[in-house]
Amino acid sequence: MQAAVLHRYNSPLEILERPDPKPPPGWILVDVRSCGVCGSDVFLRKGGFNSTLPIVPGHEASGVVRELGEGVAPSVAPPGTPVALYYIDHCGTCRMCSVGRVNMCLSVRRMGVEYDGAFASQVLVPERNVIPVLPSDDPAAVAVLTDAVATPYHGLVRIGKVQPGETVVVFGVGGIGSNAVQLAAHLGCTVIAVSRSDAKLELAERLGAHHVVRGGEGVAERVRALCGPGGPEVVVQSVGSAVVDRQAIDTSGIGSRVILIGTTTEGFELRATDLVWRESSVWGSRGFTPTDIREVLELHRTGAVTTDHLLLHRRPLAEANEALEDLQAGRVLRSVLTFGEGW
């Protein structure tokens, strides 16, 4: 197998030949077909996740089952089955897993962060983390649906519990925010998209934003001028920036839910009165569950959401470093590493 391996932080991945792995008991060997290159991979390369090195990145992927480890029932996904991969290994029994919040499992381990991921021609996956898909699904679309679309879906539906008719403000129109825009529009909300980039504001309009607003100083006032009395019901913050975190709070109104998805470790100032006087709330939304993946796959099949804007840049594994550079420099929303055509 071929793998792109990170040996040292802030240095390029090395494309290496490795022996084909054997699936341990309870695990499945998958031939990778597509893997999205995500902001989290850039964060990983900088040492943000403090991963033990060497590590193979890659957490939003699709593939075909090659071999089942001992004890895996063939009914899970027999060899040859096209699958989406869920990157969060979870115990299934802890207090978070037992209420279905497996993304927050107390013994969470993530593919491409704590164990080797799908920047490789083959990857090992725990049996509960393969989700069979249809042969008619596009492998590249399946890959990006498992993260770039499922992450904002989780934020809007599970955390934000958005309702039709609500106004949803989306800060950032990148790999996550662009999909928050189209999902909120599909859910029947009035969508206001915020970005500093004209090209991204145009993309937001194409994806169903009802209003677009230029980011930067004074953005809260510009957005609130478009909202009804009391401001927006929901604010989704997808930018990894403490300045934008604060702008999201300033934009919120009476009874607003602010959902933070973009991550930065920098702090921002928050006064109790920001929340108390408005009886508003701030939520963190992290990742997604297999149920979220199944639901966005179905939305894609019915044409309710598109992945076209995420699939403009396809590269072979050998160009994984170029894909990371493109993302870091803001030249692309996403790149997808592909391994041949179709399943």
Interacting residues toward Zn ion by CB under 5 A: 38, 40, 90-91, 94, 97, 105, 147
By beta-carbon proximity to Zn ion, the closer residue of 13 and 219 is: 13
Rg of the chain over Cα atoms, rounded to whole angstroms, equals 20
**Cα–Cα distances in angstroms (integers) from residue 72 to residues 17, 67, 76, 126, in the given order:** 27, 10, 7, 10
By beta-carbon proximity to Zn ion, the closer residue of 251 and 307 is: 307
Longest dimension (CA), the chain: 62
Q: 294 with 157: CB under 8 angstroms?
A: no
Residue 39: CB partners within 8 Å, gap ≥ 6? Answer: 174, 175, 176, 240, 327
Q: 103 with 88: CB under 8 angstroms?
A: yes
Question: Minimum distance from CB of 40 to Zn ion (Å)?
Answer: 4
Question: Minimum distance from CB of 104 to Zn ion (Å)?
Answer: 8
Count CB neighbours of 265 within 10 A.
Answer: 8
Question: Minimum distance from CB of 147 to Zn ion (Å)?
Answer: 4
Q: Tell me how long the chain is.
A: 343
Question: Minimum distance from CB of 92 to Zn ion (Å)?
Answer: 6
Question: Minimum distance from CB of 89 to Zn ion (Å)?
Answer: 9
Q: How far does Cα 46 stand from its chain's mean position?
A: 18
Question: Minimum distance from CB of 222 to Zn ion (Å)?
Answer: 30
Residue with tokens 């991969």: 85
What are the phi and psi torsion angles at 27 (to 5°)? -115, 165
Question: Minimum distance from CB of 76 to Zn ion (Å)?
Answer: 19
Q: 37 with 323: CB under 8 angstroms?
A: yes
By beta-carbon proximity to Zn ion, the closer residue of 27 and 212 is: 27
| Cα dihedral: 329, 215, 275, 104 (round 10) | -30
Distance CA 72, CA 26 (A): 5
By beta-carbon proximity to Zn ion, the closer residue of 90 and 300 is: 90
Question: Minimum distance from CB of 248 to Zn ion (Å)?
Answer: 20
* Consecutive H or E run containing 87: none
Task: Check residue 61 and report its DSSP letter.
Answer: E
Conformation bin of residue 301: beta by default, left when phi > 0, alpha when psi is -120 to 50? alpha
- What is the token pair recorded at 36? 């999205």
By beta-carbon proximity to Zn ion, the closer residue of 82 and 287 is: 287
Q: ω before 79 within 30° of 0 (cis)? A: no
